[in-house]
């Protein structure tokens, strides 16, 4: 019997996850199916229950995307520490009645930075733009890489400050450097080696009011959105930064989920190359 997996989201029509997981399965010789399921806004839990109950093979796991990551967090009967820190779940495993919630987004970002982009966060001054779900999900994994600094800047300053305070106090988080929070005006005169855009501004191409000084010489600018040139990417390019979009993070978070489910780590380079050549 083929093990079944699915992605739940709304929308999911253009998702690359079924292609990515199908390529991983082929590469590693794993017998599994992976489908995208469009859940109604008020029907996430019911859609998951139906997926588990119906179908030929056993349902082993699922990925969760916008707008259900917080709901998946509440649905899980057990959480990993990284899901707990993120306050959101993007990976579910179904195991004898238990629903284990994990979050592989931060690990995906860190792996993309280190392995694909040669940008190790260790010792770097990092600026994280945004204080919503996407930002929250990557803070702990970034802190665990021992950056020199992690500053969170957000349009709504209080949200950045609150998030920084929360992670500064995280129990069991053995990091020497605490994150700090500010609004965009607080960035004046400051410079960073890695600037990560975790705002959703790229989706409506809004320009962030960033001083050019934030992009230090040889800075890497990372846009979590993929598949389009955002205003942030244009800004960073003009300032001389090396620019990356979030396609690598997408593939790496999928590989981490695949590893959680199957205990096998797929090679991501050929899959990333296949997606790039298709776009
Ligand atoms: P996500 O899950 O994608 O992080 P979210 O939780 O709604 O979505 O958070 C969106 C983030 O993008 C927030 O940090 C938001 O800033 P505010 O807290 O001030 O709302 C940020 N954001 C969205 N549009 C923006 C824009 N045009 N300019 C600056 N920040 C923006």
Per-residue pLDDT tens digits for 214-240: 999 999 999 999 999 999 999 999 999
Predicted confidence (pLDDT) at residue 205 exceeds the cutoff of 90: no
14-58 per-position pLDDT tens digit: 999 999 999 999 999 999 999 999 999 999 999 999 999 999 999
Atom of ligand 1 nearest to the CA of 136: 4
69-125 per-position pLDDT tens digit: 999 999 999 999 999 999 999 999 999 899 999 999 999 999 999 999 999 999 999
Return the HEC string of 226-277: CCCCCHHHHHHHHCCCEEECCHHHHHHHHHHHHHHHHCCCCCCHHHHHHHHH
Distance of alpha carbon 168 from alpha carbon 176, whole angstroms: 10
Q: Would you state the torsion angle of the CA atoms of residues 235, 237, 240, 243, taken in this order, to the nearest 10 degrees?
A: 120
User: Does 163 contact ligand 1 (Cβ within 6 A)?
Assistant: no
Mutating to test ligand 1, I would choose from 130, 204, 249 the residue with most ligand atoms within 8 A of its C-beta, which is 130
Q: Identify the residue whose tokens are 């993120």.
A: 86
Please check whether the two domains, 3-103 and 106-248, share a CATH topology.
Answer: yes
Predicted confidence (pLDDT) at residue 279 exceeds the cutoff of 80: no
215-223 and 242-244 strand pairing? parallel
276 is catalytic: no
Percent of the chain scoring above 90 in pLDDT? 89
Mean pLDDT of all residues in 195-211 = 94
Predicted confidence (pLDDT) at residue 178 exceeds the cutoff of 90: no
| Residue ranges covered by each domain of the chain | 3-103, 106-248
Assign a CATH topology to domain 3-103.
Rossmann fold (3.40.50)
Distance of alpha carbon 93 from alpha carbon 91, whole angstroms: 7
106-248: CATH class: alpha beta
What values do phi and psi take at 243, rounded to 5? -110, 135
């Amino acid at each position: 019997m083929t093990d079944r997996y699915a992605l739940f989201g709304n929308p999911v029509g253009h998702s690359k996850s079924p292609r990515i997981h199908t390529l991983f399965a082929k590469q590693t010789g794993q017998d599994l199916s992976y489908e995208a399921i469009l859940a109604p806004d008020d029907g996430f839990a019911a859609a998951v229950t139906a997926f588990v109950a119906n179908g030929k093979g056993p349902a082993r796991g699922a990925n969760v995307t916008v707008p259900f990551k917080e709901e998946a967090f509440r649905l899980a009967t057990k959480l990993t520490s990284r899901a707990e820190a993120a306050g959101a779940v993007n990976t579910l495993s179904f195991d004898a009645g238990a629903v284990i919630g994990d979050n592989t987004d931060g690990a995906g970002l860190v792996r993309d930075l280190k392995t694909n982009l040669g940008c190790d966060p260790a010792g770097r001054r990092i600026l994280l733009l945004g204080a919503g779900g996407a930002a929250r999900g990557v803070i702990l994994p970034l802190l665990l890489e021992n950056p020199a600094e992690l500053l969170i800047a957000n349009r709504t300053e209080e949200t950045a400050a609150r998030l920084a305070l929360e992670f500064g106090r995280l129990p069991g988080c053995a990091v020497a450097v605490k994150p700090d929070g500010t609004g965009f005006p607080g960035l004046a005169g400051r410079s960073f080696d890695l600037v990560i855009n975790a705002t959703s501004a790229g989706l409506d191409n809004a320009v962030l009011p960033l001083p050019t000084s934030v992009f230090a010489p040889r800075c890497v600018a990372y846009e979590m959105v993929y598949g389009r040139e955002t205003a942030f990417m244009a800004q960073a390019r003009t300032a001389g930064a090396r620019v990356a979009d979030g396609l690598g993070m997408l593939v790496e978070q999928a590989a981490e989920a695949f590893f959680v489910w199957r205990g096998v780590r797929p090679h991501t380079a050929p899959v990333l190359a296949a997606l790039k050549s298709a776009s």
